[in-house]
A and B are shown apart, each in its own frame.
Chain A
Amino acid sequence: EVQLVESGGGLVQPGRSMKLSCAASGFTFSDYYMAWVRQAPKKGLEWVASISYEGSSTYYGDSVKGRFTISRDNAKSTLYLQMNSLRSEDTATYYCARPSVYYPAGWFAYWGQGTLVTVSS
């Protein structure tokens, strides 16, 4: 059974950093692109970033480019999101997501339960 479990969220002050993790199990992690998607309270979904199989290629949404870094450790089957220079507008539930197919695609069939990040002083 595919499982994605996010961790690392919480309360952080504006301008500070935070690192999220997503522990994957039930599939060969290195066979799939992975992604982060976020959702601000009472708002819609926003794709944040994606990463290729070995991590050599990364892609970011405009609102996080230059501040967030997606990475992965295939030996640990873990996806990461390093978030720097956090702003109040980064307050959201962050989901880890995996496509249903082996190639990069926007069909995320598997999602974690999400981890809430609150940016506030």
Chain B
Amino acid sequence: DIQMTQSPPSLSASLGETVSIECRASEDIYSNLAWYQQKSGKSPQLLIYYASSLQDGVPSRFSGSGSGTQYSLKISGMQPEDEGVYYCLQGSKYPYTFGAGTKLELK
């Protein structure tokens, strides 16, 4: 199975700060990676798919990059509504696997 190592487990950012979250796959996943945001008590929301494509309706301050085994999500200018837990998911090979999550809080 493909293991997804996500870092950091948590971070705190100030309003307007740029933050980055990383995911490393245990093997090449050929950009078959998605990023999700989950707010407390809510269902996850798709932010980025195929490593760098922005899902419709998602603010442009969210961006994804990476290839091979290394991927990252960047939020350019932290907003209060960006608080939540972020997960990566590899969809290259079954079983699909999520990263452990990154809890993002506003400082």
Which A residues have a C-beta under 8 Å from some C-beta of B? 35, 37, 44-47, 50, 59-62, 95, 100, 104-109, 111-114
Contact = CB atoms under 8 A, between A and B. Distances in A.
Contacts of B49: 100, 105-107, 109
Contacts of B100: 44
Contacts of A60: 95
A60 to B, nearest CB: 7
A8 to B, nearest CB: 17
Looking at B1, B34, B87, B96, the one whose CB has the most chain A CB atoms below 10 A away is: B96
A61 B101 contact: no
Interface residues of B, number: 27
A104 B38 CA distance: 22
Interface of B: 1, 32-34, 36, 38, 43-46, 49-50, 55, 85, 87, 89-92, 94-101
A-B complex: 10 closest residue pairs judged by Cβ atoms: A106-B91, A107-B49, A111-B43, A47-B96, A59-B94, A44-B101, A107-B34, A45-B98, A61-B95, A106-B89
Given A44-B100, A62-B1, A107 B95 contact: no
Contacts of B46: 100, 107-109
Nearest to A35: B96
Contacts of A114: 43
Given A45-B101, A100-B46, A105 B95 contact: no
Contacts of A100: 46, 49, 55
Given A100-B55, A105-B32, A112-B43, 7 more contacts: A44-B85, A45-B89, A100-B46, A106-B91, A108-B89, A109-B46, A113-B43
Contacts of A44: 85, 87, 98-101
Nearest to B98: A45
A60 B101 CA distance: 21
Contacts of B32: 105-106
Contact of A105 (B45, B91, B98): B91
A46 to B, nearest CB: 7
Contacts of B97: 47
